[in-house]
Amino acid sequence: MSLRIKSGVSITGIKPEMVLAAIIADGVYKSEYISECWITSGLEAKHMTNSLHYVGYALDFRINNLSDYQREKILIVLKDRLGKQYDVILKSNCIHIEFQPEMGNNL
């Protein structure tokens, strides 16, 4: 596995749903011939108020080593593989993944 955690990133308190998302993300990066999938933010960074990062339901993944095509392709595949319970968002500096099931689903 080539999943890596950037120095200084805190994953203490990450929920199991996010561990699964990270494993899936690593597989998607590999499928696009990206040798390493880096988690660049967990619970440690400053995020928006009420961010799911603070409760262990969000992670950010490195994209600065990806072409625009790779970013878009990985985004599409992640959305497909993770399904409706996850939000997958391409930001300017990362791919943000959060577990946020619709109301009525159990956490």
Q: Return the domain boundaries, the chain.
A: 3-99
Instruction: Write down the pLDDT at residue 49.
Output: 77
The secondary structure of 47-90 as a DSSP string is: --TT-GGGGT-EEEEE-TTS-HHHHHHHHHHHHHHH-TTEEEEE
pTM equals 0.89
Four-point Cα dihedral 33, 18, 11, 50, nearest 10: 120
pLDDT tens string, the chain, 107 residues long: the values are 589 999 999 999 999 999 999 999 999 999 989 989 999 999 986 777 788 998 999 999 999 999 999 999 999 999 999 999 999 999 999 999 999 877 544 44
CATH match of 3-99 with 3.40.50.720:
no
Instruction: Write down the pLDDT at residue 107.
Output: 46
Instruction: Write down the pLDDT at residue 1.
Output: 56
